Amino acid sequence: MKRIFALPVVFALALSPLVASAQVLGPAGAAAVASAPAVGAAASLPSLNFTLSQPQMREAYRGAQANLNMAVAGILAAPAGFASTVKAYEAASAEYSRALNPLVFLGEVSPDPAVRRTAQAIGKVADRKSVELSMNEALYRKIEEAAARGETLDPVDARLMADTLKNFREGGFALSPDQRERLKAVQQKLNTLSGDFARNITDKKDELVVGEDGVQGLPAGYRATLPRGTDGAYRVPVDEPNSAMFLRYADNADARRAMMLKFNNRGGERNLALLHEALGLRREMARLLGFAGYPDMVLKDRMAGSPQAVIAFLGRLKDAVLDRARRDSADVLEAKRRVEPGATQVYAWDRQYYSRRLREERYALDQETVKQYFPVDRVVEGTMKVYQRVLGVTFREVPDPRAWAPGVRLFEISDAHSGRLIGHFYLDLTPRPGKHDHPAAFPLVSGRVRADGSYEPPVSAMIADFPQPEPGKPSLLSHGDVETFFHEFGHLMHGTLTQARYASYAGTSVARDFVEAPSQMLENFVWERAVLDELSGRWDDGSRLPDELFAKMLAARDFQSGMMYAGQIGLAMGDMILHSTVPDDVSAAFNKIMAEYTGVPQTPGNNFVGSFGHLMGGYGAGYYGYLWSKVFAQDIYSFFQAAGVISPEVGARYRAQILAWGSERPEKESLRAFLGREPSEKAFMNGLVGRRLQRKLGGR
C-alpha cells in the first residue's frame, strides 16, 4: 500500500468510504450517511481534475495551503474544546489532504515530465509546511487546553483526542527551543531525502544492450517486443517486468549478471548517500525524542510493540525455515550442474534462471503456457466478479474517466444491497516512461463523515507495470502477476469499505504491521479452482485453465519457499540492523546480511539497497510487517476456506469486523471480533511452511 501525503498529526491517510449495507453496520461513522444515486443511475465522476496546467496546479496548492492556514487561525481564535479544536483540526487536515493528494499523485504517473516535476515540487513544499504545522506551539497549547477540559466523549472521539495530543507531544514540545528547531530541520530534511531517493529510482531510464547471444533462451514472443537499434542490437529496458523476464529466461550468464547489476543499481551511489544520511537523521530524531533508536520510536505504536519482539519473531522464523532453505539452495545448485558440470556456487544472477528450469523439469510446468490463460482484461473482469460476490458490492465502469493518461480506467463502487454510492477507483496498469514502476494502491481522497453528516466517497488508484502485449496477442499475465493484481485490489477494498468517522482512522490507516494483512489474505483466493474459473480465459478461445495445468501449479506452489522466506527474513533483518547500527557502508552491510540469510554470495558492485524503496518509502524499521501481517492474513483466510472460499456470509463478517473499522479500535480487537478468539500462528505455519515447521516455531 502506497501512502501519498499526510500531516504528521493526522497519522497516515488511507482510502476510505462507507459500507452502506445495514447488515454490516458497525463503527461510529455509520450513522450519518447521505443518500446516493440509485442502482441504474448513470455512473458518476469523482470531483477531481487531472488536466490542470502547471500554473493551475501551483495555484491549487496555494489555495489549499491558504484554506488550512485560515482554518488553523480559526481554531486558535475559538474557545478550546473537542469540537472546536481537535475535531476542527482533523477536518481541516482532511480537507487539505483531499486537495493535495491528487496533485502530488501526478508526480508518480503523469506522462508529462514537466507536470511530474511540478507535482514533486509541490510535495516538497507541502512536506516542509506540514513539519512546521506539527510544531506550532500555539496549536499544541490549544489542544492541551481542550484535553484538560475533560469532556465526556464517546470512544472514537476520545481516541482522536488522545492520539492528536500524543502526536503533538511527540513532535518535540518537551524539548528546548534549540532542540525543537533541530528536530524541525531533521524532519524536513528527511522528507526531502525520501522524495529524492524515490525519484532517483523512478527517473532512472536505462537499457541493457545485447546481441543475439544475449537474448538466447528468451521466449520468442517476448523477444519480438524488444526494441532494436540500427546496429541490430537488442535494447532491453531496465525495469521491473523486463528485468524479471530476462533474469528468468536468458541463457547467457554474463548478460544476466549485467541486467541484475543495472536493475539493482538504479538508485546508484546517490541513493546510498541519501540512505546513509537518512539513517543517521532518523537515529538523531529518535534520540532527541527520548528513544534509544529509530526502531524503538517506530515500533512503540505497532502491533509488534518493540524491536525485541520483531527480532525474536524473525529469529524463530529463520530457525524454522533454515533446513528447507538449504535444501532449496542445494536443489538449484544441482540444476546448475546439469548445465555447467563442476559448478560449485549459485550466484545472484543464477537463482531465478535455474529455479525456473528446475521448476519446469520437476513439475513439467511452463510459465509461458500458464500466461496464455490470463489476458489482463479477463483477470480484471474476473477479479471484480469475485470481489462483488464476497464483499457485497457492485462495480460499474465510468465511460469517460478524464484521467491523467490514455488507457486509464475508472470504476464506481456501490453497495449491492442498497445501491448507495461508496466511492471510485482508477486502474492504470500499463508501463510508461516516468511512471512509478512498482504495483501500488494510492489514496487520492479519504472517506470521512463530513460536517453536513454526509460521507465523503473515497477515490483511489491502483498502478502497475504489467507486460506489454506481444505481437498478435493481448497483455498476458503470469500467475504471479494475477496474485499481485488480486493483492493490490484488496488494498482498494480495504480503503473503500470503511465506516470510520475520521479520515485519520479510515480504511488503510491502520498499524503498518497490519496494513498488508487484508491483501495478503486475499492472495490465497487465486489458488482456488472456483476463483481461477473466473480469472482465467485463454486469450484466443476463452477456455478456462485446464485441470491438469492447475494441478501442476498447485504441486509447485511451495517450490523454493524456503529460499523465498529466507530472502524475506533477510530483507526484514537488514532493515532492522541498518536502522539500529547506521553503518558507514550501508551497501556492504546490507549485502553481508543478505548473504548470511540466503547463502548467495555477495556480488561486487551490487548496490541493491540503494534501490530498495521500502526503506525510504514508509517501511523503514517496518519491512518485517510483511511477514508479521501474513500470520493474521492466514488466520483470517482459514474461515473463508472452511466456508468454501467465495462465501458472502464470511465476506460480510470480514467487511464488518476488519474492513469497516479501520483503526477506530485497535487492530487486535478487530481480529478478535472476526475470529471469535485470539489470533493464532497455526494457519500461517500449516499453509506456508508446513506442519513440521509449525511445531518448531511454536505459537506467538
Q: In the Cβ-directed half-sphere of 375, how many Cα atoms lie within 13 Å?
A: 16
Q: Which residues contact 400 (CB under 8 A, 6 or more apart)?
A: 45
CA atoms of 318 and 316, how far apart (whole Å): 5
CA atoms of 370 and 551, how far apart (whole Å): 12
What the block records as the C-alpha cell of 305 is 510493540
Contact between 513 and 298 (Cβ < 8 Å): no
**Which entry of 170, 412, 488, 523 is annotated as an active-site residue?**
488
Q: Which residues of 464-502 are buried (b: 16+ CB within 10 A; e: fewer)?
A: bbbbebbeeeebbbbbebbbbbbbbbbbbbbbbbbbbbb
Please enumerate, as own/partner, the contacts of 397-402 that have beta carbons within 8 Å and a separation of 24 or more. Answer: 397/43, 398/43, 398/44, 398/45, 398/424, 399/43, 400/45, 401/45, 401/426, 402/45, 402/49, 402/50, 402/51
DSSP state of 455: B
Contact between 189 and 127 (Cβ < 8 Å): no
As beta bridge partners, residue 415 has 393
CA atoms of 390 and 645, how far apart (whole Å): 9
Handedness of CA 204, 436, 261, 468 (dihedral sign): negative
Please enumerate, as own/partner, the contacts of 131-134 that have beta carbons within 8 Å and a separation of 24 or more. Answer: 131/8, 131/184, 131/187, 131/188, 131/191, 132/184, 133/7, 133/9, 133/68, 133/72, 134/7, 134/8, 134/9, 134/167, 134/168, 134/171, 134/187
Give catalytic status of residue 277 as yes or no: no
Direct distance between the N- and C-terminal alpha carbons of the chain, in angstroms, rounded to an integer: 26
CA atoms of 413 and 402, how far apart (whole Å): 17
CA atoms of 201 and 381, how far apart (whole Å): 32
Q: What amino acid is encoded at 676 in this protein?
A: G
Contact between 677 and 694 (Cβ < 8 Å): no
Percent composition of the chain: helix, strand, coil (DSSP 3-state, to 5): 60, 5, 35
Main-chain dihedrals φ then ψ at residue 449, nearest 5 degrees:
-80, 120
Contact between 514 and 33 (Cβ < 8 Å): no
Handedness of CA 96, 102, 108, 112 (dihedral sign): negative
Tell me which residue of 578, 698, 567 sits closest to 631, measured CA to CA: 698
Contact between 351 and 600 (Cβ < 8 Å): yes
As beta bridge partners, residue 410 has 398, 426
CA atoms of 268 and 271, how far apart (whole Å): 6
Three-class DSSP category at 410: strand
Q: Which residues of 670-682 are buried (b: 16+ CB within 10 A; e: fewer)?
A: bbeebbeeebbbb
CA atoms of 662 and 12, how far apart (whole Å): 12
Catalytic residues: 488
